[in-house]
Amino acid sequence: MDLSPPFTLIIAVSFLVVIWLTYKLASYKTDLKWQKQLVSLRKSIADQQRAGIKGKVSETFAPFLQGFPFKSSECKFLGDPIDYVVFEGLDERDIKAIHLVEVKEGTSKLSKHQKQIKDLIDGLDSEDITFEEFRFKSDG
């Protein structure tokens, strides 16, 4: 069977059009998938930012939360790597102990540096200098 040059050209062009259409369809499907994921990614990022802001605010106001074991007037906020240094007895002008306090929400864990600080303080085996964790429950 002998194919004429115009027929061969038509077949080649048709083949290229099919390849181009397949590429465009795949590209369109990928774009749709990305656009659907983009909405959930944006929501996830916003949720993480809100959680971070809420954590920072909670850390700042922790001495005023119910169950905080020290007087708020004796707490000095650092924020990083430890949230508070508490000078127990400062109000009475007779400091009896120093406590490093890390504020955590729910089941959040200490960072690597916080663990190192905790281990160093715990290694002192002193009641006068301690590392404490204050955990509060999130409202949701």
DSSP output for 55-97: HHHHHHHGGGSTT-SS-GGGEEE--SS-SEEEEETGGGT---E
Give me the pLDDT at residue 105, please: 84
Q: What is the pLDDT of residue 97?
A: 97
Supply the pLDDT for residue 1: 59
Residue 11's pLDDT is 86
pLDDT score of 110: 94
Report the C-alpha gap between 140 and 135 in whole angstroms. 15
What pLDDT does 73 receive? 96
Q: Quote the pLDDT of residue 106.
A: 79
Q: Which domain holds residue 1?
A: 1-140
Q: What pLDDT score does 60 carry?
A: 87
Residues of the chain with pLDDT under 50: none
**pLDDT reported for residue 136:** 81
Q: How many domains does the chain have?
A: 1
> pLDDT value at position 66?
87
pLDDT for residue 2: 67
